[in-house]
Amino acid sequence: MILAHLTKANGIRKEQSLKEHCINTARYASESLRLPGFYHTAYLAGLLHDMGKATEKFHVYLEKAYHGEEVLRGSVNHTFAGVVYLLENYHMDIKEKYDCLASEVIAFAIGGHHGLFDCADLEGKNGFLHRLQKDKKELAYEEAVENYFENVISEEEAEKQFHLASQEVQQFFQKAKALFSSQEEVGFQVGLLSRLVLSAVIYGDRRDTAEFMGQVQLCKPVFHWRVQRDFLEGKIACFDSAAKINQIRKEISQQCLESAGLPTGIYRLNVPTGAGKTLCTLRYALAHAEKFQKKRIIFIIPLLSVLDQNAKVIREYIKDSSCVLEHHSNVLHEKQQQEILDEYELLAEQWDAPVIISTLVQLLNILFMHQTSAAGRMQALCDSVIIIDEIQSLPKKTVLLFNMAINFLSQFCNATIVLSSATQPCFETVQWPVKYADRAELVQLSQEQKNVFKRSEIIDKISDSGMDLQELSGFCISLMEIHNALLVICNTKREARELFAETEEIAKAKGWKIYHLSTSMCKKHRMDVLRDLQEELLLVQSQENGGSQKLICVATQLVEAGVDFSFDGVVRVIAGIDNLVQAAGRCNRSNEYKNWGRVYLVNLKNENLGMLKEIKAAQDSTLQTLSYWKKLEGSGLFDDEMINRFYQYLFRSSEIKKEMRYPKNNGHDIVYLTDLLANKNKYVDIKKEKPPFIMHQPFKTVGKMFQVFEQDTIDILVPYEEGSEDIEKI
């Protein structure tokens, strides 16, 4: 018997044959892609993924590892054999393009299941040719092929599966050509298909390996959408809807429920801040999942501070909250080396749970990062409902990548996607647009209904010259004649620090409380300041009219989302309208101050945003929008028309157009990740390839370059509280 794995359970040697492992992997992989229509493609990739293990060399490696001898993990190459077999039999001398494409897609999944590779790198070196030209004696290739077809499946079965897979790839390619107008967009979709098939193989391989090594069959939790819906509806029925604002929230929730009957597609939820989006989207998702038998619901939330609040709500309104999996950096536990995973780790690694709460970083890493632990989760996005909250916070450099990915998930993976925001970006207007459903809006509100959520007025204090920090400080101090609690939000940490220093002495002399919040402060420091600030705000809000307690907080934009506090006045240094809306959301948030709050827009003299080109472009687009708004009568700056106009100005700006292609310096050249993933690899000379290959995406290189947020950072110890003692000890 040719072995795939060896382990010891209760002191007894346990063996898993290569046949059992390959068939189990193929079964798990293909089932994960059955509904999207890539069953046979995933099945064949799963069958052939470990062909290289059918050798004496690998058998010796297994036995040594089992007996505790020191072996180098991965020292026996077992991923090349399946790639070579596929390409030699279905690519080398075959002119049928769909057979060639299918063989490349499956070969990439086999060759990449322990580590992604470049189909062609940035020096033009071809990853497929590299595997074809490898010394076959070193691979023990002939031995592997012969043993595999004698012991695992017949060559006739492999050929049958390949032709079925080729038909699936042909149908995919023809649909992609019909849906997308450019060759680049089609090339991008082919790359995503390759990653999806790879993901299915990683999922099948790791699941079967974990089950064998742990000697347990993993059972998925029983989860009935109807039961969860009934529980949610029972709780919603008890809500008080006497107040006008609660009546509008009820109407939004009802429209979400009714929209759940719309078919799979990409939708928008565009409602004001304070409309109860979390519960509305949960209600929609449960009803939609039940009607269309989706596998899971995935909530994607950009910021951890927001995630904690939303996760609490979701757990409260899900009957069986033990079936809710949270997966983000606060709880993330990756295992790269050890093969035995406990049940939670396997669920987290493969997103195999009915309800998942995660971050935008995790979602984008799944779609683009080079690590197999990330890529392996992509199959979990199929047949799901994906709710993406605060979509306006998507980094501009990832917009085109994101649009192509959600188009793929919707069109080819049977996923329904909801983009939720109070300031909905017009992604349909960019170079590679989102393909929204025919009736894209889940909720339609009249302007009168939207006005119920307004708690503040906008006061334009922008001038041609702008204010310097000393003048801005004086302006803020003068506002304290009519405000008890004033929040001032700056664009940079330096601005906030210097404005705080300029204002602190006068504020303290007048007996006011003054606070500073910035990402320059360590997290513990920020949390302590926030706690004290919240307590003081409650005192201010509880005062009778004319109360003496006053406070000022000078902050960066870190307070614009996920921080639940409220001031009666907000000063915002001009930025993007999406930032202004978030800032206004901190003003008279729940009508604590009874009267309307005031949001003052100001601009700084000679503001230095040279290194913050996105903020500068957003600022310019806001100023254009303001200029247009001032000519109108009766419309609000935060009305949908103005927000849409802002995004159109922004997305047309040359700086943002360039940024959306995700530029990256590779040491001697500027490359664009969008182009590389769209199969536009300028470093490749196709004429030199024999045979010529279709796919030239440098998946591994791009994955290493890809970062949602730049992480060129160094961890430091901060002399705050016990940090000082730790530094002294060291």
Q: What DSSP string describes 609-661? A: -TT-HHHHHHHHHHHHHHHHHHT-SS--TTSHHHHHHHHHHHHHSHHHHHHTT
Mean pLDDT, residues 464-472: 95
Cross-strand partners of 356 = 298, 325
DSSP H helical segments within 543-612, as ranges? 577-584
Beta carbons of 30 and 200 less than 8 angstroms apart: yes
Q: Report the chain's C-alpha Rg in angstroms.
A: 28
d(CA 48, CA 204) in angstroms, rounded, equals 12
228-286 tens-digit pLDDT: 999 999 999 999 888 898 999 999 999 999 999 999 999 999 999 888 899 999 999 99
d(CA 196, CA 32) in angstroms, rounded, equals 10
Pairing of strands 12-17, 3-9: antiparallel
d(CA 633, CA 488) in angstroms, rounded, equals 28
DSSP H helical segments within 480-576, as ranges? 493-509, 523-542
Which is nearest to 389 in space by CA: 422, 340, 351, 415?
422
Q: What is the structure's pLDDT at 665?
A: 92
Which is nearest to 41 in space by CA: 131, 113, 103?
103
- Residue 470 clears pLDDT 70, i.e. is over it: yes
Pairing of strands 355-359, 3-9: unpaired
Beta carbons of 503 and 477 less than 8 angstroms apart: yes
Cross-strand partners of 419 = 268, 388
Beta carbons of 489 and 560 less than 8 angstroms apart: yes
**39-48 and 97-111 helices cross at what angle (nearest 10)?**
50
- Residue 338 clears pLDDT 50, i.e. is over it: no
Average pLDDT, the chain: 92
Q: What is the structure's pLDDT at 547?
A: 59
d(CA 210, CA 205) in angstroms, rounded, equals 9
Mean pLDDT, residues 144-171: 97
Fill in the amino acid letter for 201: V
Q: What is the structure's pLDDT at 544?
A: 52
518-531 tens-digit pLDDT: 988 888 899 899 99
Which helix (H) or strand (E) segment is 207 a member of? helix 183-214
d(CA 285, CA 294) in angstroms, rounded, equals 9
DSSP for 36-105, written as a single string: TT-HHHHHHHHHHTTGGGSSHHHHHHHHHHHTT----TT-S--SHHHHHHHHHHHTTT---HHHHHHHHH
584-625 tens-digit pLDDT: 989 998 888 888 999 999 999 989 887 788 899 999 999 999
Structure tokens at 284: 């929609």
Q: What is the structure's pLDDT at 334?
A: 45
- Residue 711 clears pLDDT 60, i.e. is over it: yes
Q: What is the pTM of this model?
A: 0.93
The residue behind tokens 């409220």 is 566
Residue 218 or 151, more confident? 151
190-201 tens-digit pLDDT: 999 999 999 999
Long-range contacts of 149-158 (CB under 8 A, 24+ apart): 151/1, 151/2, 151/17, 151/18, 151/19, 151/54, 152/2, 152/18, 152/19, 152/22, 152/23, 152/47, 152/51, 152/54, 153/19, 153/22, 153/23, 153/47, 158/44, 158/47, 158/48
Which is nearest to 50 in space by CA: 104, 2, 119?
2
Structure tokens at 631: 């000519």
Pairing of strands 266-270, 12-17: unpaired
Mean pLDDT, residues 459-488: 95
- Residue 331 clears pLDDT 70, i.e. is over it: no
In Å, what is the CA distance from 685 to each residue of 97, 126, 188, 630?
19, 10, 19, 55
Q: What is the structure's pLDDT at 346?
A: 66
Who contacts 112 (Cβ-Cβ below 8 Å, separation ≥6)?
A: 79, 198, 372, 375, 699
Q: What is the structure's pLDDT at 343?
A: 59
Helix, strand counts (H, E) of the chain = 29, 16
Top-ranked range on mean pLDDT: pick from 291-300, 443-452, 593-602: 291-300
303-326 tens-digit pLDDT: 777 788 888 999 999 998 888 988
- Residue 333 clears pLDDT 70, i.e. is over it: no
Q: What is the structure's pLDDT at 425?
A: 96
**18-32 and 141-151 helices cross at what angle (nearest 10)?**
80
Task: Kindly report whether the peptide bond that precedes residue 272 is cis, defined as omega within 30 degrees of 0.
Answer: no
**C-alpha angle 148-98-91 in degrees, rounded to nearest 5:** 50
